[in-house]
Chains A and B, each alone.
Chain A
Amino acid sequence: MMHEDKFDRGSALTIFKSDRHEDLAALGLSLLIALLVYLLV
């Protein structure tokens, strides 16, 4: 039970705690990629 409280390990479909967390991770990753493309290409 200690582990369950300390960390949330997502579901069978995702490593993230919730869909919202996954969406935000995708948004963060996209913005990072956009920045890299803008600066490097």
Chain B
Amino acid sequence: MVYTQKTPWTLVMGIIMVAYAYMVQNGMMEPVIKFLNTGRHAGEMQTLGFAFGAVAILVGLWQVLAAPKEGQTDYYLSTVAGLMFIMLIAFIVKWGLDPLMAKWGREAQPALGFNFASVMNLNYVVMGILAGIIIVNVFKVPGWAENGVRLSRLGLKTGVILLGTLYSFAELAQLGKLSIVLIGVFVLGSVGLVLWIGARRKLPNSMTGVMSAGIGVCGVSASVAAAPVVQAKSTEIAYTIGTVLLFGVVCMFAFPIIGKALGMGYVQFGAWAGTGILNSAQVAGAALAFQPGGIETLKVAEIFNITRVLFLPIIVLWLALWYVKREVGAQQVDVTRVIVSKFPVFVLGFILMFLLSSTGIFAPARHYQGAYFDNSDKALVKKDRSGKEVNNYLKEADVETLKKDAEKVKRDDQKAALQRLIENKKVMSEDDDATLRGIINAKLMSKEGTAVLNKAHRAIRHTAAKIAMFRDLIAWFFTFGLVGLGMQITVASIKQAGGQPLVIGSIVGVIKAVGSLIVVMLMVSETV
């Protein structure tokens, strides 16, 4: 079978992308960029527009002019049209709809009394997923784009692996401890609860078993991994996937709104989403929807998600023993083989990337969250885009402010660090930086004094260029994956839930979501 379809749309999309990038480069889009306040995206508009546009034009020409033969080249190149389709939607949503909604939200606030864009969480992540859902359920995904849509999970997995570059040992150690406790309690608890309710409602053991893995561990992948050990039928897997999907979609949209209403911080929300939402992709969706402008929430949520995936072997083993005990004459399954063959390798990829990053090849080895210490002249005196020199040493007025507040500082080490800052007009060491941060956190100084200390801190902390690049790439991989994910959420697949599985899934899902919310609010602070 030949998969490449003779469509002009790949070529058309490529021309649109290149033309847009060209217009941004030549300033023709300046009024629109100013109107939407998207100047900070101008660089990526050009880079991504030219790069994706060029590929789309080349493949589009090949699709129109060549006569592809059956084979791998035809099959894999047939995904490019759908890939471009998703990227085009992502561009429109991220550079157009997102800033437009933000602008309208702000402008309508005096009349409405609230910012509707913020309250309804109308950012590019939510709108991207919604766009996908609307396209697939109202208009249908065009035939030439279908193969590309099946790349969305690859995008999400690549995003998770690359995320490994952004963690430091300190962060991972702190988050890891927290996640093992929380995930341990809620994964094992919800698996046990599904098994108990399933037995009371007299559901088939195979149905209950596969459902417990889906609701307890990580949604769709866990259901598929657990299916062989409980000898689940394909309809039972479909019921579970339908339930997980329906519950996950509701959570994906509801969690960020609840999180904002409760005033949760990044760590708290990431911990809650990573524990309470059933499916991996929807954890990423909720985390990015909560904090669309940054990646901190996603980092926390993914640690919890990965910890949950690491529980998969334990759950598979538990279910195997549980099933054999309950089903007389059940065929013994080679559990080790199932675990080895179904274990998600991308989690090991994440760990590999973290280890690679820990060697210091992407950022100075002592970086924390991608930022490193440098107080040399070269780092403090820079040139801005227009070539004007920007001096980040403290000014005389700043020094005077610090001198006025100096007497409020009593501890000897803090006094000494502050004195060195005043004398040199810059933070002198990493230890001094930590000590001065202590003064800020303890709120010892006036508002003006604290502002000066923050300014001094920012001057010597620099984000590594490679880490910044990884952050941008990761955000785009997730955006691509989530728009594509939206295109896979069909009414038909959700309808598969129905009946008893939906009732049990909803009961346990709600208990898990509410229970983890309470625990996170009580036990998790914002100090990672």
Chain A residues within 8 Å of B, Cβ to Cβ: 3, 7, 9-10, 12-16, 19-20, 22-27, 29-30, 33-34, 37-38, 41
Contacts and interface: CB of A to CB of B under 8 A. Distances in A.
Given A13-B488, A30-B162, A33-B473, A41 B465 contact: yes
Contacts of B79: 15
27 contacts: A3-B70, A7-B75, A9-B75, A10-B150, A13-B488, A14-B150, A14-B154, A15-B75, A15-B151, A19-B344, A23-B345, A23-B346, A26-B157, A27-B161, A27-B348, A27-B352, A29-B158, A33-B158, A33-B473, A34-B162, A34-B353, A37-B362, A37-B473, A38-B362, A41-B465, A41-B466, A41-B469
Given A7-B75, A33-B162, A34-B162, A26 B356 contact: no
Contacts of B160: 26
Nearest to A8: B75
B224 interface: yes
Contact of B154 (A9, A29, A41): A29
B415 interface: no
Contacts of B361: 38
A14 B353 CA distance: 24
A16 B162 CA distance: 20
Contacts of B344: 19, 23
Contacts of A25: 154
A30 B349 contact: yes
Interface string B145-157: 0010011011001
Interface string B130-164: 00000000000000000100110110011011100
Nearest to A6: B70
A14 B221 CA distance: 13
B165 interface: yes
A41 to B, nearest CB: 5
A22 B344 CA distance: 10
A15 B167 CA distance: 31
A36 B341 CA distance: 31
Interface of B: 1, 70-72, 75-76, 79, 147, 150-151, 153-154, 157-158, 160-162, 165, 220-221, 224, 341-342, 344-346, 348-349, 352-353, 356, 361-362, 465-466, 469-470, 473, 488
Contacts of B75: 7, 9, 15
Contacts of B221: 19
Given A10-B150, A15-B150, A34 B356 contact: yes
A40 to B, nearest CB: 9
Contacts of A19: 221, 224, 342, 344
A12 B150 contact: yes
B469 A27 contact: no
Contacts of B362: 34, 37-38
B470 A24 contact: no
Given A12-B150, A20-B341, A33-B473, A26 B349 contact: yes
B112 to A, nearest CB: 40
A38 B473 CA distance: 13
B147 A26 contact: no
A34 B349 CA distance: 12
A20 B158 contact: no
Contacts of B150: 10, 12-15
Contacts of A7: 70-72, 75
B345 A27 contact: yes
Given A34-B162, A34-B165, A37-B470, A27 B346 contact: yes
| Closest 8 pairs between A and B when the two form their complex, measured CB to CB | A26-B157, A23-B345, A30-B161, A27-B349, A23-B346, A26-B158, A15-B150, A41-B469
Contacts of A10: 150
Indicate the member of B158, B221, B353, B465 with the most A CB atoms within 10 Å. B158
A22 B341 CA distance: 13
Contacts of B349: 23, 26-27, 30
B165 A26 contact: no
B157 A37 contact: no
Nearest to A38: B361
Contacts of A9: 75
